[in-house]
C-alpha cells in the first residue's frame, strides 16, 4: 500500500491518538453477534485488523431494546454482554487495529410495538406506527445513548460511531415530515437538530476527551422533507462544536427510492457532497458509498474528497485487503471489484466469508440480508428493516429484490 497508495497509507493524527492509515472499515450487520458466538465475531474483526483497516466500525448496537434494529439484536447492557464485547476489542487491539462501536437507535424503523419516533408517523417500510416521544421519553433516549457509549469505553473500544443517518432516529428528528413537533425539539431547524447535538454532548461528557466520537451524518437524505445542504453544514459545524472527532458520510434513507450502493450506481457517486461538507469543518471527514477499489480510494484522497475512506464490501468478502492491494499495485484489483459488485445476490455456491456460515441454522433465521431463495439458491438483500424478507419480484433484466429500486444492501456501504 505504501508505494502505490501513498495517501491511503498516510497516518491520520486525531490529537489523542493516531490511525495508522486512511482506511476505515464501515459498519456492517453480519448477524454473527446474534448467534452468541463471540469468538466468531472476534475472528471476523481480528482478521480485518490484520488485513489493513486502521479503524473498524461494528454493526449497529442499540442503546436500548426499543431502538434495536431487529428482535434479539446484540446490545451492551449487562456484565456478560460487556465481557463479550471486550473479547472482540482485545483481539483487534492485539492485532494492531482500532475499533469503534456503532450506537444505532432505529427509531420508527425498529420492528417492535414499542418503537418510538419524534412523531407518530409510520415508515413506509415498517408495519408499526411509532409512539411519539414525550419530553421524558427523549431524555430516556439521550441517557441510554450516553450510558451505552460509556460502557463501550469500559469494554475496550477505541471509540463510538453515533448513527445519525439513513433514516434512523436522529435522522427522523431532522426531517420535517417525520418530525412534526411544536416544542423545542421540532419546528425550525435549530430545534430539529437539537436531539443530534445533545446526543453528542452527552456522549462526549460520558467518555471523556481521549476517545473517538464519530457521527455517521446524513449528508444527502434523498427523501421528501430532507435537509438542505445549508442545514447539513449547519449541523456539521454544530456537531464539531459539541465534541465530534470525525464525521462519516451517510447517504439516503432506507425508504428512499434512489439507489445509493447498488451496482448500478456510479463509483464514488456521492463523493462530491462529502467534499463540500469537508470544506466547511475543521475535523476529519470520511468519504463513503460505492468506493470499492484502492485506486479509487487513493484518487479521492488525493483530490481532497475526504480525509479517510470507508470501505465495507471489500472487507466483507476479503479480510486481507492490504496484502492483496499492496502486492498488486494500481490496476491490479479487478479480482476485488468482481467480488464486491454482487450487490443484490451472493451465490450460495461460493465460499462464504469466514464469519458467515450459511450452514448455521440458528443464524439463518435472523440474517439481516434475508433468507436464501428456494428458486435460485441465492441470498436476497433485504430492505431497510434488517431481518425482514420479502419474496423477490420479477423486473426487467431478471429477478431482484423489492428494494432494488431503493438503497439496497444489508452489509454496509
User: Nearest-5° angle of CA 251, CA 255, CA 261?
Assistant: 40
Least-confidence region, from 31-40, 373-382, 388-397:
373-382
Neighbours of 375 (CB within 10 A): 9
| CATH code (residue 303) | 3.20.20.70
List, for residues 70-88, the tens digit of each pLDDT value: 999 999 999 999 999 999 9
Q: What pLDDT was estimated at residue 293?
A: 87
Q: What pLDDT was estimated at residue 313?
A: 84
List, for residues 340-377, the tens digit of each pLDDT value: 333 322 222 232 333 322 222 232 333 233 333 333 33
Average pLDDT over residues 290-307: 94
Q: What pLDDT was estimated at residue 3?
A: 61
Asked if residue 268 lies in contact with residue 291, where contact means CB atoms within 8 angstroms, the answer is yes
Report the SS3 class of residue 102: strand
Position 203 in a domain: yes
Work out whether strand 378-380 and strand 345-347 pair parallel, antiparallel, or are unpaired.
Answer: antiparallel
Position 367 in a domain: no
Q: What percent of the chain has pLDDT over 90?
A: 71
Q: Which residue has the higher pLDDT, 176 or 324?
A: 176
Q: Which residue has the higher pLDDT, 400 or 196?
A: 196
Least-confidence region, from 114-118, 186-190, 347-351:
347-351
Position 193 in a domain: yes
Q: What pLDDT was estimated at residue 114?
A: 97
Whole-angstrom distance, CA of residue 260 vs CA of residue 12 = 27
Q: What percent of the chain has pLDDT over 70?
A: 77
Q: Which residue has the higher pLDDT, 344 or 303?
A: 303
Position 352 in a domain: no
Cell of 410: 444489508
Asked if residue 347 lies in contact with residue 378, where contact means CB atoms within 8 angstroms, the answer is yes
Q: What pLDDT was estimated at residue 111?
A: 96
Report the SS3 class of residue 358: coil
Up-side HSE of residue 217: CA atoms within 13 Å toward CB? 34
Grid cell 450502493 in the structure block, residue: 261
Whole-angstrom distance, CA of residue 219 vs CA of residue 277 = 8
Q: What pLDDT was estimated at residue 314?
A: 84
Q: What DSSP string describes 15-64?
A: SS-EESSSEEE-----S-GGGT-HHHHHHHHHHHHHTT-SEEEPSPB-SS
Average pLDDT over residues 185-191: 98
Whether the predicted pLDDT of 94 surpasses 70: yes
Position 358 in a domain: no
Whole-angstrom distance, CA of residue 339 vs CA of residue 343 = 9
Whether the predicted pLDDT of 177 surpasses 70: yes
Cell of 243: 465534541
Q: What pLDDT was estimated at residue 318?
A: 81
Whether the predicted pLDDT of 301 surpasses 50: yes
Asked if residue 317 lies in contact with residue 306, where contact means CB atoms within 8 angstroms, the answer is no
**Average pLDDT of the chain to the nearest whole number:** 82
Position 372 in a domain: no
Question: Which residues are tagged catalytic?
Answer: 168
Domain count, the chain: 1
Position 121 in a domain: yes
pTM greater than the 0.75 cutoff: yes
Whole-angstrom distance, CA of residue 162 vs CA of residue 272 = 23
Whether the predicted pLDDT of 396 surpasses 80: no
Asked if residue 121 lies in contact with residue 109, where contact means CB atoms within 8 angstroms, the answer is no
Domain that holds residue 225: 6-332
Grid cell 417525520 in the structure block, residue: 178
Report the SS3 class of residue 67: helix
Whether the predicted pLDDT of 378 surpasses 90: no
Report the SS3 class of residue 180: coil
Asked if residue 105 lies in contact with residue 114, where contact means CB atoms within 8 angstroms, the answer is no
Position 400 in a domain: no
Q: What pLDDT was estimated at residue 321?
A: 61
List, for residues 235-267, the tens digit of each pLDDT value: 999 999 999 999 999 999 999 999 998 888 999
Average pLDDT over residues 281-302: 95
Average pLDDT over residues 42-53: 94
Amino acid at each position: 500500500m505504501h508505494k502505490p497508495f501513498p495517501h491511503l497509507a498516510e497516518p491520520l493524527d486525531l490529537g489523542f491518538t493516531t490511525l495508522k492509515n486512511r482506511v476505515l472499515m464501515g459498519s456492517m450487520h453480519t448477524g454473527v453477534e446474534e448467534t452468541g458466538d463471540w469468538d466468531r465475531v472476534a475472528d471476523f474483526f481480528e482478521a480485518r485488523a490484520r488485513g489493513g483497516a486502521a479503524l473498524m466500525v461494528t454493526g449497529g448496537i442499540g442503546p436500548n431494546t426499543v431502538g434495536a434494529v431487529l428482535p434479539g439484536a446484540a446490545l451492551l447492557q449487562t456484565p456478560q454482554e460487556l465481557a463479550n464485547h471486550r473479547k472482540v476489542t482485545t483481539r483487534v487491539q492485539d492485532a494492531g487495529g482500532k475499533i469503534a462501536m456503532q450506537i444505532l437507535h432505529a427509531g420508527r424503523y425498529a420492528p417492535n410495538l414499542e418503537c418510538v419516533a419524534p412523531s407518530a408517523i409510520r415508515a413506509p417500510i415498517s408495519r408499526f406506527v411509532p409512539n411519539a416521544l414525550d419530553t421524558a421519553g427523549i431524555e430516556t433516549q439521550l441517557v441510554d445513548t450516553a450510558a451505552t457509549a460509556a460502557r463501550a469505553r469500559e469494554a475496550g473500544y477505541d471509540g463510538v460511531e453515533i448513527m445519525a443517518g439513513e433514516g434512523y432516529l436522529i435522522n427522523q428528528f431532522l426531517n420535517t415530515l417525520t418530525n412534526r413537533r411544536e416544542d423545542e425539539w421540532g419546528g425550525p431547524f435549530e430545534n430539529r437538530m437539537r436531539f443530534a447535538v445533545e446526543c453528542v454532548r452527552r456522549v462526549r461528557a460520558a467518555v471523556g476527551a481521549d476517545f473517538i466520537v464519530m457521527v455517521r451524518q446524513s449528508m444527502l437524505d434523498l427523501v421528501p422533507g430532507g435537509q438542505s445542504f445549508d442545514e447539513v453544514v449547519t449541523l456539521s459545524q454544530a456537531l464539531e462544536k459539541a465534541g465530534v472527532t470525525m464525521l462519516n458520510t451517510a447517504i439516503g434513507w432506507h425508504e428512499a427510492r434512489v439507489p445509493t450502493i447498488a451496482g448500478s450506481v456510479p463509483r464514488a457517486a456521492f463523493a462530491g457532497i462529502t467534499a463540500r461538507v469537508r470544506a466547511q469543518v475543521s475535523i476529519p471527514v470520511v468519504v463513503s458509498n460505492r468506493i470499492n477499489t484502492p485506486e479509487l480510494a487513493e484518487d479521492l484522497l488525493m483530490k481532497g474528497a475526504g480525509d479517510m475512506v470507508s470501505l465495507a464490501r471489500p472487507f466483507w468478502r476479503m479480510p486481507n485487503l492490504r496484502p492483496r492491494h499492496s502486492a498488486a499495485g494500481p490496476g491490479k484489483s479487478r479480482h476485488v471489484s468482481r467480488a464486491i459488485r454482487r450487490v443484490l445476490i451472493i451465490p450460495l455456491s461460493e465460499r462464504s466469508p469466514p464469519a458467515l456460515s450459511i450452514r448455521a441454522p440458528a443464524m439463518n433465521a435472523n440474517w439481516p440480508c434475508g433468507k436464501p431463495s428456494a428458486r435460485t439458491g441465492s441470498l436476497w438483500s433485504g430492505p431497510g428493516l434488517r431481518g425482514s424478507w420479502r419474496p423477490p419480484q420479477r423486473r426487467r433484466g431478471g429477478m431482484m429484490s423489492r428494494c432494488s429500486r431503493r438503497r439496497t444492501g444489508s452489509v454496509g456501504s
